[in-house]
Amino acid sequence: MGLLSKKDAALIKDPLFDNNPITVQVLGICSALAITAKLEAAIVMAISVLFVLSLGNVIISLMRNIIPSKIRIIVQLVVAAALVIVVDLVLKAYAYNLSKTLSVFVGLIITNCIIMGRFEAFALANSPWKSFLDGIGNSLGYGVILIIVAFFRELLGTGALMGHQILGDPVKKTGLYALGYENNGFMLLAPMALIVLGIVIWVQRSKNPKLIEENK
Amino acid sequence: MEKRTDKNSYTLLFAIAMTVIVGTLLAFTAQVLKDKIDENRRIEKQQNILYAMGINENTGENDVVMIPTDKVGEAFNKYIVKQIVIQGDKITDNDKAYLIDLKTEQQLAKKADYKRRLPLFIGKKDGKTYYIVPVRGKGLWDAIWGYIALDKNMVVQGAFFDHKGETPGLGANMTQRYFIDDFIGEHLLDSSGNFKGITVLKGNNDPLNNDKTDNEVDALAGATITGNGISAMLKDELNGYVPYFKNLNKK
């Protein structure tokens, strides 16, 4: 990345792989379980978190020297909540159909531990530009996992991706279903999200020895 | 030494200032966008009403594609020939009937002396008359609603359902074609002409819904409460219209 110094690039790259907020830091699990039954919802959620986290990080970073430490968590909450409401209103006004998909998950963005976590751990102590990159990196790391999990859940659970049936028609028994394949409805329930996530973590750790803790 | 930002007075002032600024900002945003959002909701209602009577842009058999927003106003005026409000025995014409908020009416109707206003939209397409009834009820998590197009014998000609927060992949599938299309042709009255509604039922040995007179459609897998909500919604909401349809057939 020619535009960014090595340190800055690491701010984006680290949370994508070695320090992924979901698979390594195990933050934001709640929403990763709740909204990954469909790929479309996962993508919308990833984009919304990207917006809220990167902008919120910048705002918190700009205010970092004037925020009273006693109420900093409340200040962070207010910033996150205000941004989410603005996003929701703008979507309702200009992308009405998209907002209908998103509206259920708005509350979940505010409660997303990653947002509060990055505000508290990074933006309060770093410059706006660095915080912005950190926000982008972490929300991308979050989004990637969300999309991977949603891909498998929607595909195996309903035989569809983005709402399009791609394995054939389960009712009329065409495509793969003609061969006796059945959708696994269990994939749509939250426990399977946890299991899929566990498999993702397993794969990542076996590929990346840095992440394996030593057994003493 | 104590930092300036640690003082109680500073903290209090900061909190007050933040509340005022953020509050103003949000109120302002909401106010600016309000007209646009209301307009979107109004257009969506028109789209859904037209969808129920079969005016849509579906191409594939799984599509639920509304008529485009820029054409909906014109189409609505063309196809919806009359809008009426039924209130007890009184029937009045009202070309804003589609804007009546069902939630408000349902709440008002809990008072004993209030007769609920029931909007009904009459559409004409290819010489056929559709009576479109808006319905609203409770799903598993939140509100569900829809529009049911009927003929004068209360046989469903088309349906549209939507929801606020049913489970994605399960109850949220109530908006899918394989579910809403099951309602088409289904009877709301039983064979002797009494109102029976339509029950969403699992295991009625009729998964492809070939029997249209059994007052039942096949349920969605894993969405029992949503299905029960739809059954209850249809029963409760459409019941009020029965006298109107009975009158219609006497004439």
**Which of A96, A101, A103, A105 is the mutation pick for testing B, counting most B CBs within 10 A?**
A96
Q: What is the pLDDT of residues A42-85, one digit of tens each?
A: 888 888 889 999 999 999 999 998 888 888 889 999 999 999 88
A158 to B169: CB separation less than 8 angstroms, yes or no: yes
Task: Read off φ and ψ for residue A26, nearest 5 degrees.
Answer: 50, 50
The Cα B134–Cα A56 span in angstroms is 41
Q: What is the pLDDT of residues A137-166, one digit of tens each?
A: 999 999 999 999 999 998 888 888 887 778
**Which of B42, B170, B226 is the mutation pick for testing A, counting most A CBs within 10 A?**
B170
Of the candidates B56, B241, B54, B43, the residue with the CA atom closest to the CA atom of residue B135: B241
B14 to A103: CB separation less than 8 angstroms, yes or no: no
Question: Which residues from B are below 8 Å from A35, CB to CB?
Answer: 168
Please tell me which residue of chain B has the smallest CA distance to A100: B164
The Cα B80–Cα B95 span in angstroms is 10
Q: What is the pLDDT of residues B129-182, one digit of tens each?
A: 999 999 999 999 899 999 999 998 899 999 999 998 888 778 888 988 888 988
Q: Could you tell me the residue ranges of all domains in chain B? A: 34-248
On whether any CB of chain A is under 8 Å from the CB of B17, the answer is no
B30 to A171: CB separation less than 8 angstroms, yes or no: no
Interface predicted TM-score of the whole assembly (ipTM), two decimals? 0.72
The strand pair at B199-201 and B216-218 is best described as parallel
Of the candidates A35, A16, A23, the residue with the CA atom closest to the CA atom of residue A139: A16
Do residues A71 and B14 touch, judged by C-beta distance below 8 A?
yes
Instruction: Return mean pLDDT, chain B.
Output: 88
Instruction: Return mean pLDDT, chain A.
Output: 84
Q: 């005026």: which residue's tokens?
A: B77
Q: What is the pLDDT of residues A158-199, one digit of tens each?
A: 888 887 778 877 777 777 877 778 788 788 888 888 899 999
